[in-house]
Structure 1
C-alpha cells in the first residue's frame, strides 16, 4: 500500500471543488442529465475500500468525492450516475493504479455476488448452469440487456453472442459513465455472472476502453480453462 499512502498523505479534502480535482484523473464528469444507475456501484465499492484499506480511507475517499453521506447511509434505490462516477474517479485519482484496480475489481465481484443472490430468480439460477453454454449465454445476455440501464446509466449498451459450438460474447457500452482505465468493476461483474450462470469458467477481455481513449468500452467473454485471474 505504500504508493497509495503517499497519495493519501499529500492531499487536502476537496469539498465542493471535487469536480475540478476529478478532471485530473482523466475521467470526465457527465453533463448533468440526471441518468439513474444502480446503488451497488456505491455500496460495494465502499465495502471493498473498507475491507482492503480500512474504514478511515474509505470515508475519506467518499468525502473527497462529495458523497460522504452515502458511506454512512448507503442508498437503497437507484441514484444519479454522477455519484458513483465521482467516486470511481476520486478513487483512481487517490490510490495507486494497482490499488484502484484491486478495489474496483473487488467491488465488481461483490456486486456480481449480490446480483446472483438477490436479483437473479432462483429458477434461473438453477436452470442456466445446466443448459448448453451457447444457450445459457444467450439467455443471460437477454436478461442483462433488459436491465442494462442499472449499470450503464446514460451509456448505450449493446450485446451479441456469436457462434454455437464455442460461443463468444461481445458486450459494449458507448459513452460509459463509469469508465475507468481497464474498467475492472464492469469486467468483474461480467466475470462473476457469466462464470456462474453459464456453467463454465470464463475469460473476460477488454480490448477497447473509453478511459484509454477508445470510442467505447467493449468486453469479449469466452470459455476458459484453468484458474483465472480476476478481471
Structure 2
C-alpha cells in the first residue's frame, strides 16, 4: 500500500508545534527560540493547514546537531505529544472506539491503512508505504525530516513515537515501534516495524 506525495513539500505543523513545549521545558524560551531560528522561523507556524517541510526538517536536524545526547528523548516526547494531538483532534471518537473493540490484527490493519492515507502530514515529499502486515512495517523513502543527514544509527525517534502512541492507544498497549533502517545511515528508506512486546 503506497501513498503518493499528495502534500509534496508540505508537512503537518505538529512536526514543530509539539516540539516547541518540549524544547522550552528542556532549556527555556532561549532554547526554543534558538531552534526556531535554526528552522528559519521567527515565530511558531500556524496550526491551520500544512507548512513547508524545510523548516520542520531544519528544526529536527538542528536538535540532533546541537543536543545530540538529549535529542532522542526530546524527539520522542514531541512524537508522543503529536500522537496525543492526532487522537484528540484528527481521529473521530467513534472511529477510535471501533478500533479498540476490533480484533488486534484487524484494528492494526485499519489503522495502518488510515496512516497511509494521511501520510503526507508526517512524510511530506517522502513516499510512505506499508511494507507488510505480518509483521506490520512501514517505510518512508527519501524522508525529508532526515534528508541530507548522516548517522551511524537510526534517528527517526519522532516518527517512532507518533506511530507508537497511535498503536498503543488504539490497537493494543503492548505495541512497540522500532526503526530498523534509516535514510541517515545510507539506507534507501526509513523502515519502522510495529510489533507486540
TM-score between the two structures when normalised by the length of structure 2: 0.88
Superimposed CA distance per residue, residues 3-41 of structure 1 (whole angstroms, 9 cap, x where no aligned partner)? xxxxxxxxxxxxxxxxxxxxxxxxxxxxxx971110100
Cα offset, 1:161, TM superposition: 4.2
Cα offset, 1:90, TM superposition: 1.2
User: In structure 2, what is the equivalent of residue 172 of structure 1?
Assistant: 139
Q: Please, which of 56, 59, 80 is the counterpart of residue 30 of structure 2? A: 56
Cα offset, 1:93, TM superposition: 1.4
Check whether the contact 2:109–2:133 (CA below 8 A) recurs between aligned residues: no
User: In structure 1, what is the equivalent of residue 122 of structure 2?
Assistant: 151
* Alpha carbons of structure 1 residues 172 and 34: separation in structure 2 relative to 1, 3 Å: closer
User: In structure 2, what is the equivalent of residue 82 of structure 1?
Assistant: 54
Whole-angstrom CA distance in 2 between matches of 1:89 and 1:152: 15
Whole-angstrom CA distance in 2 between matches of 1:147 and 1:162: 18
How many residue pairs match? The answer is 185
* Alpha carbons of structure 1 residues 83 and 65: separation in structure 2 relative to 1, 3 Å: closer
**Alignment RMSD (CA, Å):** 1.7
Cα offset, 1:203, TM superposition: 1.6
User: In structure 2, what is the equivalent of residue 204 of structure 1?
Assistant: 177
User: In structure 1, what is the equivalent of residue 88 of structure 2?
Assistant: 117
- Name the SS of the counterpart of 2:43 in structure 1: helix
Check whether the contact 1:133–1:199 (CA below 8 A) recurs between aligned residues: yes
RCO comparison, higher one (Cα < 8 Å, 6+)? 2
Check whether the contact 1:130–1:199 (CA below 8 A) recurs between aligned residues: no
User: In structure 2, what is the equivalent of residue 107 of structure 1?
Assistant: 78
Whole-angstrom CA distance in 2 between matches of 1:192 and 1:77: 22
Check whether the contact 1:34–1:80 (CA below 8 A) recurs between aligned residues: no
- Name the SS of the counterpart of 2:18 in structure 1: helix
Check whether the contact 1:162–1:169 (CA below 8 A) recurs between aligned residues: yes
- Name the SS of the counterpart of 1:54 in structure 2: helix
Cα offset, 1:75, TM superposition: 4.0
Superimposed CA distance per residue, residues 23-74 of structure 1 (whole angstroms, 9 cap, x where no aligned partner)? xxxxxxxxxx97111010010011111122222211112113321222xx64
Check whether the contact 1:138–1:161 (CA below 8 A) recurs between aligned residues: no
* Alpha carbons of structure 1 residues 135 and 94: separation in structure 2 relative to 1, 3 Å: same
